[in-house]
Structure 1
Amino acid sequence: MSYLKLLKITWNNPWTLNPNVYVPRIDSIDYSKLKELGVKYLVFDKDNTLTAHLKNEFYDNKIQSCVNNEIKQLYDQNSQIFIVSNSIKSEQKQKEVQQNLGIELILTSQKKPHNFQEIINHIKQKNTNVSIKNHEIAFFGDRLFTDVLLANLNGAVSVYTDPFNNLNEHLGIWLMRKIEKQIFSKFQNSRSINLYYLNQNIKNFDQQVTKQNQQQQ
């Protein structure tokens, strides 16, 4: 689906672009608090969230350490942690991503934000005989119009991060990032970042799951 159509979808419902949590990077989150608040499944975008754009290894040692020494200590890497992609076509690349990152890859035929059903079907296949609720899934990504929108449209937890860099991204993504930056700045300025979770108004939810003492460079 084109970016123009995504803009039309969100024009009358801008809240769908408003993330539940904003952090600079995925290693800025207290995952024990996230789990305590009810998040049972983690789904990550790859490019500019775990890796540099189009790369298949962790962006740096801090991201790698967070995944291996924190996330995997709290969540089952075989059934609760996933990467979602609809752009990795070759089997060699798929194996390379899973081997280098140690996280199962969910391949979808549709692009974000329209691939939620494929994602949750995969999670259910890995967790048979378990009732999975949408709000128990957290989606991590650096794009409002794909990652955040995907989560918000389906009642999941949206975690918005800064991109590592914009190198090698095509013009369309570069232009959309400009729009996303303006939209997000308005959310921040109006202090309207969503603080709702599990249908309850939990004050300062974003602060509860953010590592306050960790300053990113």
Structure 2
Amino acid sequence: MSICMEFMRSVELFAVILRCSSHTFPTNVITPRACTFTLAHFQFPPSAFSDIPFQTIKRLGFRGLIIDKDNTLTVPYERILRPEYQDAINECKDLFRDRIVIFSNSAGSSGDANFDEANQIESELHIPVLRHHTKKPLGIDPVRAYFHPISSHQLVMIGDRYSTDVLFGNLNGMLTIRTDPFTCKGESLGNLFLQKLEKKCVLSVQACGVQPPAHPLIPASL
């Protein structure tokens, strides 16, 4: 995705959040409810992918995992899984079998010529990479086709970006898990700026008391 498109998406997210937290905007235009879609159900610190309780997630009734790649499983634009995540990935495969897919806005997208990047990642990580022509936070159709007949609310979206991963998952009724980026390596200055902007926006929403969207499989006690 070009930096211009990234910037416009983040500006739009910022505008939504600003409207949600401002008393100067009519409540019938944009309400705090819209801001809930920018908030993940669960948040984990950097390098904590292995701490995600996958067995509990499976026990609650979730049946499939959608995982972002860059700064979630690998250093951005690299193809090697972080070694400390291997046991967690093996656990995911044991629990969810073939109901795991990587959904990246680079590898597997229409910008991935002949899907060469996707093929190489599959060879290195041994996890399927979704082929698609629409990037997150859009792109639900190929996800539904991949997981059919599993319902969207039985899927989990895991990633590091509010404006792509979290927004995509929440808009489609999934459980959303956000892991903080673990490195700046490989990221452009533009992307780093946008990530900081997104985080400030989300923190402002949380400060207003806005909560993530309710999910039918998540007990209120969690």
Gaps (5+ residues) in structure 1? 125-130, 205-217
In structure 2, C-alpha distance between the alignment counterparts of 1:32 and 1:105, rounded to whole Å: 23
Matched, 1:165 2:165: no
Matched, 1:82 2:101: yes
SS for the counterpart of 1:160 is strand
Q: Return closer, same or farther for 1:200/1:157 CA change in 2, 3 Å cut-off.
A: closer
Task: Report the alpha carbon displacement of residue 8 of structure 1 after superposing the two structures with TM.
Answer: 4.5
Give the number of the structure whose residues are more often strand, by fraction. Answer: 1
Task: Report the alpha carbon displacement of residue 200 of structure 1 after superposing the two structures with TM.
Answer: 6.2
The CA deviation string for residues 143-199 of structure 1, in whole angstroms up to 9 with x for no partner, is 000000001111111111111212232233212211222234345556655373216
Q: Return closer, same or farther for 1:9/1:119 CA change in 2, 3 Å cut-off.
A: farther
In 2, are the aligned partners of 1:53 and 1:167 still within 8 Å (CA)? yes
* TM-score with structure 2 setting the length: 0.78
In structure 2, C-alpha distance between the alignment counterparts of 1:50 and 1:158, rounded to whole Å: 16
> What amino acid is the match of 2:181?
P
RMSD (Å) for aligned C-alpha atoms: 2.2
SS for the counterpart of 2:77 is coil
Structure 1 stretches of at least 4 aligned residues deviating more than 6 Å after TM superposition:
none
* TM-score with structure 1 setting the length: 0.80
In 2, are the aligned partners of 1:195 and 1:202 still within 8 Å (CA)? no
> What amino acid is the match of 1:81?
I
Aligned to 1:43: 66
SS for the counterpart of 2:130 is strand
Of 9-18 and 38-47, more deviation after overlay is shown by: 9-18
Q: For this pair of structures, how many residues does the alignment match?
A: 194
Q: Return closer, same or farther for 1:162/1:137 CA change in 2, 3 Å cut-off.
A: same
Gaps (5+ residues) in structure 2? 20-29
Task: Report the alpha carbon displacement of residue 65 of structure 1 after superposing the two structures with TM.
Answer: 1.7
Q: Return closer, same or farther for 1:202/1:172 CA change in 2, 3 Å cut-off.
A: same
In structure 2, C-alpha distance between the alignment counterparts of 1:200 and 1:42, rounded to whole Å: 16
Matched, 1:99 2:123: yes
> What amino acid is the match of 1:62?
E
SS for the counterpart of 1:104 is coil
SS for the counterpart of 2:178 is strand
Task: Report the alpha carbon displacement of residue 201 of structure 1 after superposing the two structures with TM.
Answer: 5.0
Matched, 1:64 2:91: no
In structure 2, C-alpha distance between the alignment counterparts of 1:7 and 1:186, rounded to whole Å: 10
In structure 2, C-alpha distance between the alignment counterparts of 1:40 and 1:191, rounded to whole Å: 30
The CA deviation string for residues 90-123 of structure 1, in whole angstroms up to 9 with x for no partner, is 4432221001111111021111101112211122
